[in-house]
Structure 1
Amino acid sequence: MDQTYWAQAFVVSLITSWGILGFAGTVETHVNDAGRNVLRGYRGALYMGIGLAGIGLIVSICFMLMSWRRYHAEQQR
């Protein structure tokens, strides 16, 4: 990435981190039984993160396979 766009990339990475913390905080708040079970809330946030990571992995594999198929279709022409 060029140095010209560094400031925009910094802002995007900062806001993305806050968004992820917002998702985790929302899950933690709704799962922790009104503060009585803090560990359950932390686990809920962790499992949400694991689920989102899994979805991201599946989506990236799908895009990789689509790109791979397109590349091989063009090579056979």
Structure 2
Amino acid sequence: MSAFGIDHIIPLKEAWRSGASSWTTPQRQTLANDLTDSQFIAVSAGSNHSMGDKDPGNWRPPLASRWCT
């Protein structure tokens, strides 16, 4: 198991619950694979596990300096 992973800032399951379920397939694919608007972050395995599919408003990374990025 890796010590870190790459994760979406807004988990895809949360995006689905928040309205992406009504989007077209291409729109959802754009969100899932968007490298332009920095949708991906490197996180520790522990942070990735604790974040799960939570809304960003309900989870913050342990490092406070990353809360507003």
Give the TM-score of the pair, scaled to structure 1: 0.27
Q: Kindly indicate whether structure 1 or structure 2 has the higher relative contact order, using CA contacts under 8 Å at least 6 residues apart.
A: 2
Indicate the structure (1 or 2) with the bigger Cα radius of gyration.
1
Give the TM-score of the pair, scaled to structure 2: 0.29
Q: Normalized per residue, which structure has more helix?
A: 1
Q: Normalized per residue, which structure has more strand?
A: 2
